[in-house]
Structure 1
Amino acid sequence: MITVRIVLKLAAVNNWSLFQMDVHNAFLQGDLDEEVYMSIPFETEFVLVLVYVDDLLITGNSEDRIREVKDYLHRQFKIKDLGEIKYFLGIEIARSQKGIILSQRKYVLDLISDAGLSGCRPLSVPMGQNLKLRAFEEGKDAEKDLLREPERYRRLIGRLIYLTITRPDISFSVQVLSQFMQTPTKMHMGAALGVVRYLKQNPGLGILLSSNEDLKVSCFCDSYWGACATTRRSVTGYLLKMGDSLITWKTKKQSTVSRSSVEAEYRALGAAVSEIVWVKGLLEDLRVCHPQPVRVFCDSKAAIHIASNPVFHERTKHIEIDCHFVREKLQSGLISLIHVKSSNQEANILTKAVGYDSQRKMLSKLGTINIYSSKLEGEC
């Protein structure tokens, strides 16, 4: 994997020149990601180019083809070859016999310093289990709770959102805090600074992409019914793993209020299956064969029963679209549904604030690692 930076850019030439490369060098724009260009000159060889403004990430399974692409780019632009990738868009990449480790240690340390928390004691969890945050409500003495500089809160949350690229352990907390961007209060700011103090405990924590040859995709999905204290909307959380490697995850408040925990679980299942469809398509573009059904682990027997039962009942008609969608993918063999105990549900960390012991256990299952201590987070 090679990093290349285009030093000289002419006006409006970036997209046009990439289009020229697309036409003359048999590069095709990815169907699922518009920043990815791919070339497959031979059946067994391919080259991928990830484009972000003037930074290019080039990879493939043939060093000769990668060299040809770099030579072509050098003839079209003045480029700087940064060699084997070590740092890209704030993400640090390290290699070992175990695999590739993605972390944002420098980004975290800068965040801690800018927040003025370099001398504070770290916290063991990003958010307390009993913490209840509500939106600002106008009242007689409410104005004194508002932040005088709300843009400081918004800037901090924006930086934390980018940090979730490699830190699934803060995804739920950041999802909660991002709901109060319009009128943040002192309590919201205190909770956000608590996440930063938690990051201080393990700034080098990152994701391990294992080097083993297991390419089987599995999924864990979960929901927290009525999680939002203001709107009573539920929270969806899911994660996808390839072998033992965590490749994608998401935590998001659902767009509508669910009238039962089963409905919330089924909506989460529908969102997870949508992500599976995208990942399977991406794997096909990358010429990765995955004929087996994706195992989806859900801790709701009722949701699994709805997906497997062809008979619709009156109580499920309001989620009929999700029912049809999940059932179609189940019958086509794209997914297989497996019940898992709530205690073994790895997506729990994406739907609720958990305690210290539970968090360590979950992070160890997700394959997070701190290369600066050479220990898994679950063992720290």
Structure 2
Amino acid sequence: MKKYGYRQGNADHTLFIKRMGGKVTLLIMYVDDMVVTGDDTEKIKRLQGYLSLEFEMKDLGGLKYFLGIEVARSHDGIYLSQRKYVLDLLSEIGMLACIPVETPIVQNHHLAIYQDQVPTNKERYQRLVEWKNGHMEVKGYTIADWAGNITDRRSTSGYFTFVAGNLVTWRSKKQNVVARSTAEAEYKGMAHGICELLWLRILLTEIGFKP
């Protein structure tokens, strides 16, 4: 890719970027699967031709499924879903026939604040329209309990990040050491969330957006 004029991304080393004449072409790789995208149709075709000379490969057409994420397109934008991934996971652990219930989560003030601040479907649509008009906003929310595990007294922290009102990354993980206070547990959770936001900002800047 470097020989062909592409630059390897700093935020993601599996991402290769090429800019020319105000347009960008992107290639992202995962083992033996790759996705090619950008706003230069001619450059995308040239890249596909170059790769087919170097490797034995098959063009699967428009992106429909990648790394557990289903992709659907409409005139309003692109819709991403993990429905198939979740159903496969439930089937694998024998819970496909279980009766669904509301997600059991710890009720505390932090979660109440988060739920109040999460954009509604209407707000998310509006922000998506704003993004199409050139406006970008990156937001993150963090949450942590304190000594939530009754066995080892370790806390669990998590974060959610939104780009232009769309949820793009999320994580929930038990902390490595026991926090001595709620403040310590919260700050550890915030540190992980901020690292994710910084990574997203670097990635978006690399591909040409100014968050």
Confirm or deny: 8 A CA contact 1:216 1:242 kept in the other structure.
yes
| Structure 2: runs of 5+ lacking an equivalent | 108-124
Confirm or deny: 8 A CA contact 2:9 2:206 kept in the other structure.
yes
Q: Which position in structure 2 is the counterpart of 1:303? A: none
Q: 1:216 to 1:236 in 2, by over 3 A?
A: same
Confirm or deny: 8 A CA contact 2:17 2:25 kept in the other structure.
yes
Q: Which position in structure 2 is the counterpart of 1:88? A: 66
Q: 1:284 to 1:54 in 2, by over 3 A?
A: same
Could you tell me how far 1:212 is from its partner in structure 2? 4.1
Confirm or deny: 8 A CA contact 1:93 1:101 kept in the other structure.
yes
Q: 1:225 to 1:112 in 2, by over 3 A?
A: closer
Residue of 96, 100, 108 corresponding to 1:123: 100
Confirm or deny: 8 A CA contact 1:232 1:257 kept in the other structure.
yes
- Give the count of matched residue pairs: 190
Could you tell me how far 1:262 is from its partner in structure 2? 1.6
Residue of 218, 227, 230 corresponding to 2:139: 218
Alignment of 1:231 with 2:208, yes or no, is no
Q: For each residue in 1:83-138, what CA deviation from the matched residue of structure 2 results, as whole angstroms up to 9, or x when unmatched?
A: 111112332111123432222333333344444445x34221344769xxxxxxxx
- Give the distance between the partners of 1:53 and 1:92, measured in 2 at CA: 19
Confirm or deny: 8 A CA contact 2:158 2:172 kept in the other structure.
yes
- Give the distance between the partners of 2:92 and 2:155, measured in 1 at CA: 33
Alignment of 1:68 with 2:46, yes or no, is yes
| Structure 1: runs of 5+ lacking an equivalent | 1-20, 131-207, 291-380
**Could you say what secondary structure the match of 1:49 adopts?**
strand
Q: Which position in structure 2 is the counterpart of 1:279? A: 200
Q: 1:231 to 1:103 in 2, by over 3 A?
A: same
Q: 1:90 to 1:263 in 2, by over 3 A?
A: closer
Q: 1:77 to 1:37 in 2, by over 3 A?
A: same
- Give the distance between the partners of 2:7 and 2:88, measured in 1 at CA: 38
Alignment of 1:240 with 2:149, yes or no, is no
- Give the distance between the partners of 1:272 and 1:129, measured in 2 at CA: 19
1:1-380 mapped onto 2 (5 Å cutoff): 21-23=1-3, 25-42=4-21, 44-118=22-96, 120-127=97-104, 210=128, 212-213=130-131, 214-290=135-211
Q: 1:278 to 1:262 in 2, by over 3 A?
A: same
- Flag the structure with higher helix content: 1
Q: For each residue in 1:239-274, what CA deviation from the matched residue of structure 2 results, as whole angstroms up to 9, or x when unmatched?
A: 111121111122111222222212221222222211
Confirm or deny: 8 A CA contact 2:15 2:28 kept in the other structure.
yes
- Give the distance between the partners of 1:253 and 1:29, measured in 2 at CA: 33
Q: CA RMSD in A?
A: 2.4
**Could you say what secondary structure the match of 2:193 adopts?**
helix
Bigger radius of gyration: 1
- Give the distance between the partners of 2:179 and 2:147, measured in 1 at CA: 7
- Give the distance between the partners of 1:34 and 1:215, measured in 2 at CA: 24
Q: Which position in structure 1 is the counterpart of 2:119? A: none
Q: Which position in structure 2 is the counterpart of 1:336? A: none
Confirm or deny: 8 A CA contact 2:137 2:165 kept in the other structure.
no
Q: For each residue in 1:184-222, what CA deviation from the matched residue of structure 2 results, as whole angstroms up to 9, or x when unmatched?
A: xxxxxxxxxxxxxxxxxxxxxxxx994541411111112
In the alignment, residue 15 of structure 2 is paired with which amino acid?
A: V
- Give the distance between the partners of 1:121 and 1:278, measured in 2 at CA: 38
In the alignment, residue 84 of structure 2 is paired with which amino acid?
A: K
Q: 1:111 to 1:220 in 2, by over 3 A?
A: closer
Query: Under a length normalisation based on structure 2, what TM-score does the superposition of the two structures give?
Result: 0.79
Q: Which position in structure 2 is the counterpart of 1:377? A: none
Q: 1:116 to 1:233 in 2, by over 3 A?
A: closer
Fraction of identical pairs, as percent? 36
Could you tell me how far 1:282 is from its partner in structure 2? 0.7
Query: Under a length normalisation based on structure 1, what TM-score does the superposition of the two structures give?
Result: 0.46
Confirm or deny: 8 A CA contact 1:223 1:264 kept in the other structure.
yes
Q: Which position in structure 1 is the counterpart of 2:113? A: none
